[in-house]
């Protein structure tokens, strides 16, 4: 099964992705993974992408699409499919990838869209604290550390990311919505999107996600 997971900043994609990978034994793939792999190996596509990045330019959709396709085709362990995270980001990417994947084992079967309203998301994001040492994530309300600003796991110092503010969140959400709303509409027309209320407790979000993927 090939899955695409979508959701704005703070919607819980990381948590759900980890659970999906563990349950269904699929490859978890992000565009970051692909770029690092292709550039690190010095592939033609990787070097082409790097030439744009070195100039501070966005990598064209055509290059990104071909990199994703090439990376997926070369996976040594195909497992039971893949979970795409962070791609496709735009309608053009979605259409192009579908065209590239048509008739192959790379076609997307399911789309999980994690949705949460702004007020709940703002509370979740602005209350988030992260350990500088081990990366453990806390929340000042729902998952506070036993000692203020001290990690329960390793004793490291907790901090708030610079972009975990209402102002930054507003900008990121507007960008996300403008880019991804057409992508969701596109996959909706194919009947493969399940929208999940991500404001629920984690167990409830997972139960809804699991139900959608097991249909």
Q: Which active-site residues does the annotation give?
A: 13, 89, 128, 161, 172
Are 191 and 184 within 8 A, CB to CB?
A: no
173 is in an annotated binding site: no
124 is in an annotated binding site: no
88 is in an annotated binding site: yes
179 is in an annotated binding site: no
111 is in an annotated binding site: no
134 is in an annotated binding site: yes
9 is in an annotated binding site: no
Both tokens of 191, joined, read 């009947």
195 is in an annotated binding site: no
68 is in an annotated binding site: no
21 is in an annotated binding site: no
11 is in an annotated binding site: yes
Rounded to whole angstroms, how far apart are CA atoms 152 and 178? 39
Distances 148 to 53, 87, 121, 125, 191 between C-alpha atoms, Å: 40, 37, 22, 18, 47
5 is in an annotated binding site: no
Within 13 Å and on the Cβ side, how many CA atoms surround 154?
11
Q: Name the binding residues for ATP.
A: 10-15, 128, 137-138, 200
Q: Name the binding residues for AMP.
A: 31, 36, 57-59, 86-89, 93, 161, 172
Q: Name the binding residues for Zn(2+).
A: 131, 134, 151, 154
Q: Name the binding residues.
A: 10-15, 31, 36, 57-59, 86-89, 93, 128, 131, 134, 137-138, 151, 154, 161, 172, 200
């Amino acid at each position: 099964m090939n899955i695409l997971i979508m959701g704005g900043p703070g919607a819980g994609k990381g948590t759900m992705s980890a659970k999906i990978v563990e349950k269904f034994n699929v490859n978890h793939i992000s565009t970051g993974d692909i770029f690092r792999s292709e550039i690190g190996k010095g592939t033609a596509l990787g070097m082409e992408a790097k030439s744009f990045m070195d100039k501070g330019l966005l990598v064209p959709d055509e290059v990104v699409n071909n990199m994703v396709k090439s990376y997926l085709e070369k996976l040594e362990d195909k497992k039971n499919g893949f979970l795409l995270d962070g791609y496709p980001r735009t309608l053009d990417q979605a259409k192009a990838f579908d065209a590239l994947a048509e008739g192959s084992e790379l076609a997307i079967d399911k789309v999980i869209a994690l949705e949460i309203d702004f007020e709940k998301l703002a509370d979740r994001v602005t209350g988030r604290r992260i350990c500088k040492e081990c990366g453990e994530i806390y929340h000042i309300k729902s998952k506070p550390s036993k000692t203020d600003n001290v990690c329960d796991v390793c004793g490291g110092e907790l901090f708030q990311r610079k972009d975990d503010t209402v102002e930054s969140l507003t900008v990121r959400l507007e960008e996300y919505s403008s880019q991804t709303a057409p992508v969701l509409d596109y996959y909706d027309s194919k009947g493969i999107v399940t929208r999940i209320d991500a404001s629920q407790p984690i167990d409830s979000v997972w139960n809804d996600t699991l139900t959608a993927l097991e249909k």
